[in-house]
Amino acid sequence: GENVEQHPSTLSVQEGDSAVIKCTYSDSASNYFPWYKQELGKGPQLIIDIRSNVGEKKDQRIAVTLNKTAKHFSLHITETQPEDSAVYFCAANANTGNQFYFGTGTSLTVIP
């Protein structure tokens, strides 16, 4: 089955700096890669996703890149703000099934 690894587990950045979270996957059949943000005491929220037919997707301060050959994808947050502080999860899914495989999460702290 699929195995998703996520690094780092914790990340602290100064407000205004960029944050990068990386994930790798093992199953070449995976073709959908969502990222979720989970604030304390709440459920994860989808913030951005990318499909395997594109290499990069951007939405304001958030971007995701995908390298299919190397089987890794990354979340980039620019101009970080304190409200970006949360736990971020990556996931991988193959459209042949409905199973999502999650990374172990990254706790991001943005220091004002």
Partner 1 sequence: GAVVSQHPSRVICKSGTSVKIECRSLDFQATTMFWYRQFPKQSLMLMATSNEGSKATYEQGVEKDKFLINHASLTLSTLTVTSAHPEDSSFYICSAYGQGEQFFGPGTRLTVL
Residues that bind partner 1 (CB under 8 A): 32, 34, 36, 41-46, 49, 89, 91, 93, 95, 98-100, 102-105, 107
* Closer residue to partner 1 in complex, CB, 44/77: 44
CB of 34 to partner 1, least distance (A): 7
Q: How far apart (Å, rounded) are the C-alpha atoms in residues 10 and 19?
A: 11
> Running DSSP on this structure, what letter comes out for residue 105?
-
Q: How far apart (Å, rounded) are the C-alpha atoms in residues 66 and 56?
A: 6
* Closer residue to partner 1 in complex, CB, 17/54: 54
Angle at 29 between CA 26 and CA 33, to 5 degrees: 75
Helix (H, G, I), strand (E, B) or coil at 41: coil
CB of 101 to partner 1, least distance (A): 9
CB of 16 to partner 1, least distance (A): 26
